[in-house]
């Protein structure tokens, strides 16, 4: 089975940054875009690929500053990542696609669904905030994060970053990520603009997710007309790993609708 390796992809220059992407499967199939979470990279989705590769042309993108993509000098924001994603897809002559986004990747998916002129067939998000109020609830937690504390708590993520990134600066990335999470301006969360999303949307939340409240996703599911809320029992923020069999069944059914 093909997986993301960071060896078969390519770079797209976007401003003073270089955005890395990689594609798997038959280019004649419908496109599924995979967007990873904060401090992660496309390889985080390798365990999920068996769900998708028989029916989709799967594209993974390393978000700006993460994985193999460089940070550049622009402010890191969800809007900036959204524009990077659009630039990659436009360079590949893709204007219709579905998205699966985890955490930060799902927030970018909400922005794409809210603001992009491209055709989005379906959206799946996992553990993804959609408004600044969610972020403010965990502001104290975010402000305690340092490069050293993250490195100590998530050593594998740090080692992957050091292995992959051509211009590693973990201190700068950490500061940039905290600013990203707490961005209260128009370049941040889509907020009430999620009501513009008109494609089928599956909102996945782990029952024990400490970064996203049940109340928030209930509100979100009311705002997105064609949405389904899927709460995974006993699972935390990384809900697709916490209850994998249940996740696979529901996502498979959603994609076949």
- The three-state secondary structure class of 241 is helix
Pseudo-torsion of CA 67, 69, 72, 75, nearest 10°?
-60
Q: What is the pLDDT of residue 241?
A: 87
- Predicted structure pTM score: 0.97
- The three-state secondary structure class of 91 is helix
Q: What is the pLDDT of residue 121?
A: 97
The mean pLDDT of 182-192, rounded to a whole number, is: 98
Which one, of 41, 56, 49, lies nearest residue 96 by Cα?
Answer: 56
**Residues sharing a CB contact under 8 Å with residue 243, sequence separation 6 or more, in sequence order:** 206, 232, 233, 234, 235
Tokens of 235: 């699972």
Q: What is the pLDDT of residue 170?
A: 98
Q: What is the pLDDT of residues 189-238, one digit of tens each?
A: 999 999 999 999 999 999 999 999 999 999 999 999 999 999 999 999 99
Which one, of 92, 128, 114, 123, lies nearest residue 19 by Cα?
Answer: 92
Residue 106 has pLDDT above 80, yes or no: yes
Give 159: exposed, middle or buried? Use CB within 10 Å, 0-12, 13-18, 19+. exposed
Cα separations in angstroms, 67 against 23, 37, 62, 165, 231: 15, 11, 5, 6, 29
Q: Are 147 and 204 in contact (CB under 8 A)?
A: no
Pseudo-torsion of CA 14, 160, 138, 202, nearest 10°?
70
Residue 257 has pLDDT above 90, yes or no: no
Confidence of residue 240 (pLDDT cuts 50, 70, 90): very high
Pseudo-torsion of CA 83, 86, 87, 88, nearest 10°?
130
Residue 75 has pLDDT above 90, yes or no: yes
Residue 242 has pLDDT above 80, yes or no: no
Q: What is the pLDDT of residues 83-101, one digit of tens each?
A: 999 999 999 999 999 999 9
Buried b / exposed e over 29-39, threshold 16 CB at 10 Å, is eebbbbbbbbb
How far is the C-alpha of 32 from the C-alpha of 120, rounded, in Å?
10
Helix or strand holding residue 22 (H, E): strand 17-24
Find the length of the chain: 257
Task: Give percent above pLDDT 70 in the chain.
Answer: 100
* ∠ Cα 199 31 231 (to 5°): 50
């Amino acid at each position: 089975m093909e997986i993301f390796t960071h060896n078969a992809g390519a770079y797209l220059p976007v401003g003073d940054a270089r955005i890395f992407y990689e594609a798997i499967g038959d280019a004649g199939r419908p496109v599924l875009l995979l967007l990873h979470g904060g401090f992660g990279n496309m390889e985080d989705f390798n365990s999920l690929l068996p769900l998708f590769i028989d029916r989709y042309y799967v594209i993974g993108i390393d978000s700006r500053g993460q994985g193999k993509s460089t940070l550049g000098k622009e402010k890191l924001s969800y809007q900036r990542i959204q524009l990077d994603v659009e630039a990659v897809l436009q360079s590949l002559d893709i204007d219709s696609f579905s998205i699966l986004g985890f955490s930060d990747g799902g927030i970018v998916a909400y922005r794409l669904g809210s603001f992009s002129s491209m055709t989005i067939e379906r959206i799946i998000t996992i553990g993804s905030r959609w408004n600044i109020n969610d972020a403010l609830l965990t502001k104290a937690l975010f402000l305690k994060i340092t490069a050293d504390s993250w490195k100590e708590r998530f050593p594998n993520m740090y080692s992957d970053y050091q292995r992959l990134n051509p211009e590693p600066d973990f201190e700068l990335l950490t500061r940039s990520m905290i600013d990203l999470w707490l961005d209260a301006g128009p370049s941040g969360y889509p907020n009430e603009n999620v009501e513009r999303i008109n494609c089928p949307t599956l909102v996945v939340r782990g029952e024990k997710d400490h970064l996203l409240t049940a109340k928030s996703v209930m509100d979100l599911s009311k705002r997105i007309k064609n949405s389904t809320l899927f709460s995974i029992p006993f699972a935390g923020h990384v809900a697709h790993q916490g209850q994998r069999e249940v996740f696979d069944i529901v996502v498979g059914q959603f994609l076949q609708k």
